[in-house]
Amino acid sequence: MKTLLLALMLMVIAPGLKGQQTISRDSAMIEMANSDVKSFQLERSTWKRFKQHHFPSSSDYFKPTQLNSSDTSLLNDSTYVKAFRAAAYKKTLHRRTAGHKTLLIGGISLAVIAVVSLIILASDPPFSN
């Protein structure tokens, strides 16, 4: 009876242990892909085409290469490649131009100057006696 109970417990616990090892391996691959994506950037002409057509993350444009991968043996790992493509697509989708950033900083600066000017004018009227 004890042997049967032990065998039953092992059958229940063993698949869970295997799954946990796979999950931790997969999460490590995803973390490596996310850190490698930091050096990824589409060329300017390809990026302009992406903005117009929004090709999918499965496109070869988002495939990891030897230049932007920290470990070239990971290029054959499907989990790494899928995670890299998803992260590269997300990074490209949220990419902004230098002009966009300049306009944003300029707008914020003008708003701050306007608020400070209104505070100064409200606290000390120029034509008071």
User: Does pTM surpass 0.85?
Assistant: no
Quote the domain boundaries for residue 111: 97-129
The length of the chain in residues reads 129
| Residues 90 and 121 occupy one common structural domain | no
pLDDT of residue 112: 94
| Residues 13 and 54 occupy one common structural domain | yes
| Residues 52 and 114 occupy one common structural domain | no
Low-confidence ranges of the chain (pLDDT < 50): none
| Residues 108 and 91 occupy one common structural domain | no
| Residues 35 and 90 occupy one common structural domain | yes
| Residues 22 and 60 occupy one common structural domain | yes
pLDDT of residue 70: 85
Return the residue matching tokens 């995670």.
Answer: 83
pLDDT of residue 29: 86
| Residues 69 and 102 occupy one common structural domain | no
Which residues does 106 contact at the CB level (< 8 Å), separation at least 6? none
pLDDT of residue 84: 92
Number of domains in the chain: 2
